[in-house]
Amino acid sequence: MNNKIINIFTNETDISLETRAELTKKLVDRGYTVTEESMEDADLIICIGGDGSFLETIHSCKFPKSPVIGINTGHLGFFQEISPDCLDQFITDYEDGQYSIQDLSTVKATVTTLDGRENKHLGLNEIIIKGRQSYAVHFGIAIDGKPLERFSGDGILVATSSGSTAYNYSLGGSIVDPRLDLLQVTPIAPMNTTAYRSFTSSILLPAEVSLEIYPVYDDNRIFILNDGKETGYSNVKDVKVEVSDTMVHLMRFKNYDFWNKVKTKFL
Ligand code: NAP
Ligand code: MN
């Protein structure tokens, strides 16, 4: 008998549901307790789907302390490592301890409104700060409290290393080896004219540095997106973006190689 609890999350595609049924049977036969409800003390969280489902699982489990592994039935599957054809190998490697844990950094935004209230948002891929509707934004940007530039454009994206291959990459940002702990600040459609001057490429910040963004002119309404989830604010004083203490503990098996993944997914 085995007293381990395994939490399984899945999206609703046929292949994901079939994979869950097959995996659950194999695990129950080996004595595991398998649940589909979020459990704080789960020994392992398994997410079946694509990267979108992985992000969903991380958010619905409130950035869990338990290790997480993804089974890829989705499109891209950057976080997702295990193929649904290799469930037996996965269980054997798991039981033999043939894995390591990759601690992924997350990025935190603290929004302070003019009445002094603070709200926090956490992202595994990125935090985006943009204007309401389709208006251009004008932000002051400071690094560790020292003003750097006045940004004009659609918005600012701040990616973690593991988020560098997502939206950041579509915006022309760089792919970052996850062994580097940094924040990548990537402009979204920066305006760079004689009227407005903004950096047009990404800037990289070490993990211990924070970035502050504050509305200039009269408009202090913004949208924050953490991993694609949108929250609107009015009366914003400033937004502080920094690496959070919270980490996501991703299980990695012996054949995992980041650059091989990049090669097969992007080239
Ligand atoms: P979505 O709009 O359904 O997916 C956007 C695509 O991003 C999917 O193909 C997804 O992979 C992929 N993706 C997510 N995280 C990734 C990562 N770390 N590395 C490489 N690719 C990644 O939204 P979603 O599935 O809920 O994911 C939310 C994320 O979408 C956001 O955090 C943002 O980074 C990204 N996004 C990208 C764009 C863009 O590139 N123009 C626009 C909006 C949002 P799967 O197919 O495996 O799900
Ligand atoms: Mn998706």
pLDDT tens-digit map of 139-148: 999 999 999 9
Q: Tell me the C-alpha distance between 116 and 98, whole Å.
A: 49
228 within ligand 1 shell (Cβ under 6 A): yes
Q: Which of 76, 126, 169 to mutate to test the pocket of ligand 1 (most atoms within 8 A of CB)?
A: 76
pLDDT of residue 191: 93
Cα 53 to middle of ligand 2, angstroms = 7
pLDDT of residue 75: 84
Q: Tell me the C-alpha distance between 2 and 127, whole Å.
A: 40
Instruction: Write out the H or E segment, with its range, that includes residue 169.
Output: helix 167-170
Average the pLDDT over each of 19-23, 75-79, 103-107 and give the range with the smallest value.
Answer: 75-79
Each residue of 137-178: pLDDT tens digit? 999 999 999 999 999 999 999 999 999 999 999 999 999 999
Residue type, 15: I
> Considering only CA atoms, which residue is closest to atom 17 of ligand 1?
166
For residue 50, give the nearest of 129, 166, 212 by alpha carbon.
166
pLDDT of residue 258: 94
Task: Please answer whether residues 91 and 98 qualify as being in contact, where contact means their C-beta atoms are separated by less than 8 angstroms.
Answer: no
Q: Tell me the C-alpha distance between 18 and 34, whole Å.
A: 15
| Residue 255 banded pLDDT, cuts 50, 70, 90 | confident
Q: Tell me the C-alpha distance between 264 and 92, whole Å.
A: 25
